[in-house]
Structure 1
Amino acid sequence: MKHLKGFPYKKALVVGLAKSGFAAADLLHTSGIDVKVNDLNADSTGEQAVKLAAAGIPLITGSHPFELLEDREVVIKNPGIPYENEMVMEALRRNIPVITEVELVTYLHDGPIIGITGSNGKTTTTTLVHRMLEEDRRNVRVAGNIGEVACEVARRTGPEDTMVIELSSFQLLGIDKLRLHTAVWLNIFDSHLDYHKTRDNYIEAKSRIMKNQLEEDSFIFNNDDSIVSTFREKSVAAAVPFTLEENGRGASADENHVYFDGEIVAERKKIVLVGEHNLQNCLAAVAACKSAGVTNEAIQAVLYSFQGVEHRLQYVEEKKKRYFYNDSKATNIRATRYALEAFENPVILLAGGLDRGNSFDGLAPYLKNVKHLVVFGETSAKLAEVAGQLDIPCTPVDSMEEAVARAYRNSKENDVILLSPACASWDQYRTFEERGNKFVEAVGNL
């Protein structure tokens, strides 16, 4: 496994453990950097803590003692820790650089890097790009929010490998030298404002995906997003748009085809992913891969077979001409809206979950194809109220198995049975993945 090359600091403090903190600490230590770890809530007897102790890496838990900063030259912050954290604020007050783990890739990987960000669609687009590159027989490694920690993946890459990294705004705030040979910015919606405080701060964080790009690099941007598209003028890299409008530049689509720079790349009717938002993700992936020289045949092979990322409008199966989709990742109204807009067939919608105090009136305009609503969890009554206002039949249930059974009982041929909860899962399930798995299991048991 590779070690850091040219890293300009000799003494580091990692703030926040979890996967990225542990990976960073291990990498720094094996690269000969003097490293300490500070985590307020870490379990000092947990697996990661035991491994740190075995390696001789100090772990300080329960508080943030400022004396840890006295001889430190850099702080590597867990992306989820806000900049208002007292240790982070004190480091900045002392003019100690604060970076996130993904910055370490700069000192590990010599090959091309494709970075992908956006408020929605990051994982789907990252997966599409990854698979298209693989189909084109490229050596490719995927990392970031989608799975493995970026610096951990970069330790195993060679110069012939392409890294594809899904990047959150939290990670992008902590980059300094990291250069993305291809930067993809999908969209921008109000999100994570509890962390960023203002919309402008959030937009600025996302725009850092262009930081350090050179003229020979590519900036892939959503020309249909009024905010994202303004940043084309600020990019020194070659700006490559993608758009749902018919357009001769970059990636575009009409009713029949997907194009790149006016050339037909794929037949639209053969694309498996449903929904306009997913078509945008496909176009972003086409723009990124065509900019990297991927063949049309490789792109087609993926677009014509890829059924979606697990729990993100994922096609599950067909039973007696009823079509089941798992969209458990839809934890807010906007995400459920996108899912509903993807279908022209009648829909039986399974929804509900954690009550965060919001109403569901904003969902009402998108329920026009919903023939029956099956509701569960803390928000059952609120969703049932919206259904009543629209005269949509509604059935409250206590479990996912019952929800699927009731939905199937009320369905007819060509109906879509869609789990798209519009709520977080934590009232009944530990994660949205667990909720989605229960849905898939219940469909299999019908």
Structure 2
Amino acid sequence: MKKLIDFPYTNVLVLGLAKSGTAAANVLLANGKKVRVNDRNAVKEDEIVINLEALGAEVVVGEHPLEVLDKIEIVVKNPGIPYDNPIIVEAERRNIPIITEIEIAYSLVEGPIIGITGSNGKTTTTTLITEMLAQSNQPVKVAGNIGIVAIEAAQSLEKEESLVLELSSFQLQGIVKFRPKIAVLLNIFEAHLDYHKTMDNYVKAKCNIFKQQTADDYLVYNADDPVIVEAVKEATSKLVPFSTRRKVENGAWIDNTSIYFKDEKVIDRNEVVLVGSHNIENILAAIAAAKLDGATNEGIRNVLITFTGVKHRLQYINTINGRLFYNDSKATNILATQKALAAFTQPTILLAGGLDRGNEFTDLLPYLSHVKAMVLFGQTKEKLSALGKQAGIKTIEIAQNVEEAAKKAYAISDENDVILLSPSCASWDQYRTFEERGDMFIQAVHRLV
């Protein structure tokens, strides 16, 4: 077990278990810390609880009593727990620092960290960077919001290995010293305001990714995003822009035929197999970050001529009787669905709906011109139905879930249609995660064969 570096606290509260909380508690206990764990949804009989108590943790379950903060020096918060949680509010009142597991992972890492954040495209870009480095024979591990807890990856990380981290705003709001060697800021638009309350809070959380960087570090940023262009004026790191609109100095850019890093051609555009104009931004960001960490043009090209996307993000599933099925379950907001729709020109049947966060969907209107039908589900089905009628879409059907939506879409489709699951909403009204929702869709598609 690696030892924590520069973590001067003895009495620690881990608030919320799940994967990150459990991993944090285990590391803290192994480093001799006095750990108290509080999880409202857990019970004493849970295997996780039993194991942590056997290791010496004090575990409080079933409620959030304010007494769990007594004698505590720092709180390690599960990223999903909002800052208006009573324990967090009281911790702030007592001036107790609040961090997320990412901060502890940073205390375990000796080598370079590449951190990626943005409202959209994080998983694709994170995966591209990791594969580009691996194909260039550079030692690398990937973790963070991509499914592998950062602390767990840090435990087995060799000193010469790079750690590529996908980072959410929830994770980044809880950092203090975290400093990636290379930070990547893809885009920022209105999202997660139910958590962050204001757009300003959301932007600040995202920009935490570069706040601790110095002139020895790099910030890869979207030079086409006005919010980001304004925000990076405060950065002290070396700025490395990427742009789909113009040539940029010291960064990644594109013209009608090729993709470049600085003045060097990396690959022809027609060799790239990943669909969607939005993915060009992800590719440029990935090239810039990977090149800064030692990737070769050959390694980058090997990835781009074969990489068709990550699971649940515009993932091609199958072609059945000429109908092309795509799973974009990770599209949990309007912008993601805009980009998914923009990736296609042929007639499309859109499957959408999910948790109602109070959003209106009128920003989708300009992207519905080639949508011939909609199959809708979840809490937002009526809102989206009204939108479809406003767009003049004649065929609008309601389904109970994505499984039924897949069947209904196939029944009303014609040869050469795209059948696209791109919900534009979170999944929590019907499914535990967007992954579960996407898996249900994939299974339903395979049953159509």
Q: CA deviation at 1:345?
A: 2.0
> Is 1:425 equivalent to 2:433 in the alignment?
no
Q: Distance in 1 between matches of 2:157 and 2:141?
A: 8
C-alpha spacing 1:172/1:315, structure 2 compared with 1 (3 Å): same
SS at match of 2:188: coil
Residue segments in structure 2 that go unaligned for 5+ positions in a row? none
| Paired position in structure 2 for 1:342 | 343
Q: CA deviation at 1:436?
A: 1.7
2-11 or 174-183: bigger deviation = 2-11
387-396 or 149-158: bigger deviation = 387-396
SS at match of 2:226: coil
Q: CA deviation at 1:143?
A: 1.1
CA contact (8 A) 2:43 2:62 kept: no
| Paired position in structure 1 for 2:86 | 86
SS at match of 1:105: helix
> Is 1:252 equivalent to 2:261 in the alignment?
no
| Paired position in structure 2 for 1:316 | 317
Q: CA deviation at 1:18?
A: 1.8
CA contact (8 A) 2:352 2:375 kept: yes
> Is 1:362 equivalent to 2:363 in the alignment?
yes
Deviations 1:144-179 (A, max 9, x none): 111121112111111011101111112112212222
342-351 or 155-164: bigger deviation = 342-351
CA contact (8 A) 2:194 2:357 kept: no
| Paired position in structure 2 for 1:438 | 440
Q: Distance in 2 between matches of 1:202 and 1:13?
A: 25
Q: Distance in 2 between matches of 1:187 and 1:9?
A: 35
- Percent identity (aligned): 54
Q: CA deviation at 1:260?
A: 0.7
Deviations 1:94-146 (A, max 9, x none): 33322211111232111110001111111111111111111111221111111
C-alpha spacing 1:268/1:433, structure 2 compared with 1 (3 Å): same
C-alpha spacing 1:408/1:182, structure 2 compared with 1 (3 Å): same
> Is 1:33 equivalent to 2:33 in the alignment?
yes
Q: Which amino acid aligns with 2:314?
A: L
Matched positions, count: 446
CA contact (8 A) 1:16 1:78 kept: yes
SS at match of 2:36: strand
Q: Which amino acid aligns with 2:364?
A: L
| Paired position in structure 1 for 2:143 | 143
159-168 or 206-215: bigger deviation = 206-215
C-alpha spacing 1:403/1:272, structure 2 compared with 1 (3 Å): same
Q: CA deviation at 1:427?
A: 4.5
Return the TM-score normalized by structure 2.
0.93
Q: Distance in 2 between matches of 1:168 and 1:110?
A: 22
72-81 or 215-224: bigger deviation = 72-81
| Paired position in structure 2 for 1:243 | 243
Q: Distance in 1 between matches of 2:275 and 2:109?
A: 35
Q: Distance in 2 between matches of 1:408 and 1:199?
A: 39
Q: CA deviation at 1:439?
A: 2.2
SS at match of 2:105: helix
| Paired position in structure 2 for 1:73 | 73
Q: Distance in 2 between matches of 1:392 and 1:66?
A: 53
| Paired position in structure 2 for 1:11 | 11
Return the TM-score normalized by structure 1.
0.93
| Paired position in structure 2 for 1:326 | 327
SS at match of 1:216: coil
CA contact (8 A) 1:3 1:155 kept: no
| Paired position in structure 2 for 1:179 | 179
Query: What does 1:40-439 align with in structure 2 at a 5 Å threshold?
Result: 40-249=40-249, 250-356=251-357, 358-398=359-399, 400-439=402-441
Q: CA deviation at 1:67?
A: 4.2
Q: CA deviation at 1:28?
A: 0.6
Q: Which amino acid aligns with 2:296?
A: T
Q: Distance in 2 between matches of 1:296 and 1:49?
A: 48
C-alpha spacing 1:65/1:409, structure 2 compared with 1 (3 Å): closer
C-alpha spacing 1:429/1:108, structure 2 compared with 1 (3 Å): closer
